[in-house]
A and B are shown apart, each in its own frame.
Chain A
Amino acid sequence: MRPRLAATFLLIVFLPLVILAWFGVRLAEQEREDMRQQFQGLLLARLGEVDTSIARVMGARENELISLLAFSDYSPEHLRELTSTSVTVRQFFLLDSKGSIEYPSAMAEGTQLALSQSERAFLERTRQLWVNREIPTAAEVPSAPPQQTSPIKVFRTSGRSKGKPDTTSNAVEKGWHVWHSGSDIDLIYWWRTERGDILGAELNLPRLMADIIAVLPGTAPTATDSRTVLYDSLGTAIYQWGTYRPGEKEKPIAVLSVSRPLNSWTLASYVPSSAIAGKAGVGTWFNTLSGVIALALTIMGLAVYFFRENTRDIREASQRMSFVNQVSHELKTPLTSIRMYAEMLDERVGEEDLLLRQGLQVIVAESQRLSRLIGNVLTFSRKQRSAIKLRMEPRNVDETLRNVVGHFEASLRAKGIEIRCTGDANHTALFDCDILEQIIGNLLSNVEKYARSARYVAVESTQTDETVTITVTDDGPGIPEREHARVFEPFYRVSNRLTDGVAGTGIGLSIARDLARLHGGDLVLRPSVCGACFCLTIRAFQCPEEEHK
């Protein structure tokens, strides 16, 4: 019972705790996720602002290049001069209306237009572009009015694969062109002249980066504990600001692609995780934990209370039992003295004083009865504590029987019940005679109490090598069939008008049967037509004749 009780107890206590804790964790996670989302939103907004300032730099560059449109001199000499004095452009170039490159042109080698080293390098770098015709020309684009109030910019990114010019778009007057030439990107801005030629500028990319860095924030020692990084198309950092240093494998909270034409660049924001969790996270944890603890204590308190309530009855009963036990023990000693002296006197008293003799016999009989009662109680409690030990001794069964029967003879005769004792168990055997006496004593005491209307009680014994069988039969009112099983239960007394008013504890049969079973046998109630017939079997090994007591 104990382990099961403990298991139930644990289940009752811990199951709700586990459920609560799980919910608490989920809640905390949800809250953290929400905060993260919020953070991310904020960071993205900030990155958007940064992107705007980058876009402004690109816009300024574009305006600067467009303002060069004011010149109508597209001669190679002029373009060469523009290139050499330009701060932001690596190389200017000119395409004719068919898309083939006019300046710088390798075909002019040997003439006045012989190329410089940087011009040659430019041609080398951009060879793919001219071969693939990646910048649209007048022939491929549908005609449109030359003046455009709102310039349509076409941002086209081509990888190393051949890119087809966008022929379905509206008339394109100018635009950015991005391509990857080995490391990171290369940027070209091109625009169409009135003649239909295309004028272009390859940007000095480090310069562009430097100009972008110039407008991005620096890092003061008191700056916010976060970090924003601008990455190029290969994922290497171009520039970063903020005092926080993210770990090697740490992922950014918010990532934003820079607007075109630098869309292969990204902005990433890193924030320490402690900042995201923040005070709110700690608060939720604290709340959850305290809630869990409070509930745990409550449940445990309740469980303990119910447990104690449940076991109260048991405790009370055992208290009572131990009280009775104590009392019985206390009674046993004086009772033993009374019996001893009474029996002694009974032997000494002669036949002459009838009153004295009868008086002593009554005293002896009653103190024996009292002894039996106390013996039963003590046995019962010892049985509860499983403390009964068998004391096997070689004895004569019939002799023991006669002893017991002798105790009851007088009182039974006084009630008009005759004892007939037929013993056929004369061989010495190994058994506990006290126990046998107690069992038979209980049975006979029951006859005395409940079978007063009986005329006789027969005690018969038989014996085999291993077992001894004794039957006690009377012709009293008997025990109804339906009560046969229940009479052996402790404290149970069949209630009818015959037994009402008779004092008894209801433990006699229970003890008798338990003792019989302890002795390797059993006590059963045989069905009988009239009266009650108890059959006792005990295990008692026959001894060789020499051990005869």
Chain B
Amino acid sequence: MYSMGNCRRSTGRHVCICILLTGLFMPLVFADEVDVCVGTSSGKVLANQKQTFYMRVTLTGQPAADAAKRSPVNVALVLDRSGSMQGEKIEKAKQAAIDVIEQLRPDDIISVVAYDDTVNVLLPATRVTDHTAICAAIQSLYPGNATALFAGISKGAEEIRKFIDKNRINRIVLLSDGLANVGPSSTGALAELGTSFIAEGISVSTIGLGLDYNEDLMTALAQKSDGNHMFAEKAEDVGKAFAREFGDVLSVVAKSVDVTVHCAPGVRPVRALGREAVITGETAIAKLNQVYGNQTKYMLLELELSAGVAGTPMNVASVDVSYAGMPTNANRLSQHTSTVDVVDSPSMVASAENADVMTSVVHQLSVERNELACRLRDEGKLAESRQAFSDNAAYLDKNIKKYNARMLVPWFVDNSLAAEHYPTQNDESWTRMRKDMREQQFEIRQQMKK
């Protein structure tokens, strides 16, 4: 005969099992779109002295469980149709644009803006329902005159704003082969525009075609708005660049990513390496517009640790990563803390070095050296420039061996070749090399997927 108490007990057990199962499955159902990992240059530091220390916050986008599910996009193609684009370039650009549009779905939004010394909105923002009409609009592109890049971007942004949405990936893709010479054309102006775009949630990716575009301007715009930058040397490369860009756009898993690092007392953030961060007092904030699935981005901070006491672990910082997971647009927050042990012996410190983090540190520092080498060349100091490339190669070589950093090898090769085949005349080779270097610097700073 069951008493009332017996019934309650079996119900209670069922409930517990349900809760357990739910708890087990919860992570699977609600897996975070971004995997956050905080690492430091070393697990141990020496006692009683101030030292430089590095902290890296890694964000890895998790591919969506349902591959078909992705956020709808809102893309503006801003295409340069200035006179220099005449011929093969403009044909390949049109073809590349048409190819990527094939990948879009009816709930995606596309607009096409063409500019030379004036701007013409070829296709106002519209849903990708009628592929033929869209392709026809792109085909009507014809070459023109001088280049109003700023105006082209402005009109592109206007088209984006018509359908701008938190649920969409809002992107301007700019293709240009020339200098901006109508309207605001300074790197500063474009950079500031980029800053304002990222606050709106719009990223600008820039594709530079040929050897005549201004790479400083294009990279600044892309960097400030957290877009991509690609160097397409020949017309054939445009297709690949577009494909790569759209590959990213269609694989966004998180938007509006804010990485806030609150340093503990005694720890001072000095500067950010690679990706930019705003440092005020003891706080460093880096903002990313998006994180792509299967790609890893990081924020790298140089810190100054005050003298610690041996045996007492030191709090380094607490890290908050907030973002909106896509396509659900769910707000997420990931919190981490970082501490470090304070020891007496240097050998213990050396053995506790985090090779992975140090690789990133070396990578970013070598980018800074590479940028210096380019700057020396711009100032006309050819010998020093060449030496700088060579020194950078040596620096990389040393650290590749130290940390067994295989991933640095291609970059090392680039720098060695630059030193070896250094163009001593101001000719096409340097123009190409500079654009190539800019692209590499950008890719490393922004951790673009190769």
Interface residues, chain A, with chain B CB atoms under 8 Å away: 80, 84-88, 90, 111-119, 183, 204-207, 209-211, 213-215, 218-221, 237-243, 245
Contact = CB atoms under 8 A, between A and B. Distances in A.
Interface stretch (B86-94, B147-155, B385-393): B147-155
Contact of A239 (B183, B281, B282): B183
A243 B118 contact: yes
Contact of A240 (B148, B153, B189): B148
Nearest to B271: A117
B220 to A, nearest CB: 12
A209 B150 contact: yes
B280 A80 contact: yes
Interface string B349-366: 000000000000000000
Given A221-B120, A237-B183, A206 B196 contact: yes
A111 B281 CA distance: 7
Nearest to A210: B154
A114 B282 CA distance: 8
B83 to A, nearest CB: 12
Interface in B180-207: 182-184, 186, 189-190, 192-193, 195-196, 199-200
A213 B190 contact: no
Interface string B273-292: 00000111110010000000
Interface string B155-183: 10110010000000000000000000011
Contacts of B158: 213-215
B312 to A, nearest CB: 25
Given A85-B199, A221-B120, A209 B154 contact: yes
B250 interface: no
B273 to A, nearest CB: 15
Contacts of B200: 87
4 closest A-B pairs (Cβ-Cβ)? A214-B158, A219-B118, A210-B154, A213-B154
Interface string B224-261: 00000000000000000000000000000000000000
Contact of A214 (B157, B186, B278): B157
Nearest to A230: B183
A340 to B, nearest CB: 104
Given A113-B281, A220-B120, 17 more contacts: A84-B199, A84-B285, A87-B199, A87-B200, A88-B196, A183-B186, A204-B192, A205-B189, A206-B184, A207-B193, A207-B196, A209-B150, A209-B183, A213-B150, A214-B158, A219-B118, A241-B119
A220 B122 CA distance: 8
A118 B157 CA distance: 25
Contacts of A218: 118-121, 155
A218 B117 CA distance: 11
Nearest to B142: A221
A118 B151 CA distance: 26
B157 A241 contact: no
Given A204-B192, A221-B120, A116 B150 contact: no
16 contacts: A84-B199, A85-B199, A111-B281, A114-B281, A119-B280, A204-B192, A204-B195, A206-B196, A207-B196, A213-B119, A213-B158, A214-B161, A238-B183, A239-B150, A240-B117, A241-B118
A194 B193 CA distance: 33
Interface in B120-158: 120-121, 142, 145, 148, 150-151, 153-155, 157-158
Nearest to A239: B151
Contacts of A242: 118
Given A87-B199, A214-B154, A205 B192 contact: yes
Contacts of B196: 87-88, 204, 206-207, 210
Given A210-B150, A210-B157, A84 B278 contact: yes
B120 A214 contact: no
A116 to B, nearest CB: 5
A116 B280 CA distance: 5
Nearest to A232: B184
B184 A240 contact: no
A240 B190 contact: no
B140 to A, nearest CB: 8
Contacts of B145: 245
A215 B190 CA distance: 19
Nearest to B280: A116
Contacts of A213: 119, 150-151, 154-155, 158, 183
A243 B158 CA distance: 22
B184 A238 contact: yes
B109 to A, nearest CB: 17
A530 B157 CA distance: 127
A417 to B, nearest CB: 113
Contact of B192 (A111, A206, A214): A206
Contacts of B150: 206, 209-210, 213, 239
Nearest to A219: B118
Contacts of B186: 183
A490 to B, nearest CB: 86
A218 B148 CA distance: 12
Interface in B403-430: none
Nearest to B192: A206
B118 A240 contact: yes
Nearest to A238: B183
Contact of A219 (B120, B154, B190, B279): B120
A240 B181 CA distance: 12
A396 to B, nearest CB: 107
A116 B279 contact: yes
Nearest to B285: A84
A206 B189 contact: yes
A404 to B, nearest CB: 104
Nearest to A204: B196
B70 to A, nearest CB: 26
Nearest to B152: A213
Most buried by B among A116, A118, A205, A245: A116
B151 to A, nearest CB: 5
A520 B180 CA distance: 98
